[in-house]
Amino acid sequence: MTLIEFLILLLVAGVCGALGQAMAGFSRGGCLAAVALGFIGALVGRWIAEAAGLSKILAVQVGDVRFPIVWSIGGSALFVAVLGFLSRASRGDR
Average confidence (pLDDT) per 10 residues, the chain, 94 residues: 86 85 79 81 84 85 85 87 79 56
Give the per-residue pLDDT at 94. 52
Record the pTM: 0.77
Give the per-residue pLDDT at 28. 72
Give the per-residue pLDDT at 91. 63
Give the per-residue pLDDT at 89. 66
Give the per-residue pLDDT at 92. 59
**29 phi-psi bin (left φ>0, alpha ψ -120 to 50, beta other):** left
- What's the sign of the alpha-carbon dihedral 74, 78, 83, 88? positive
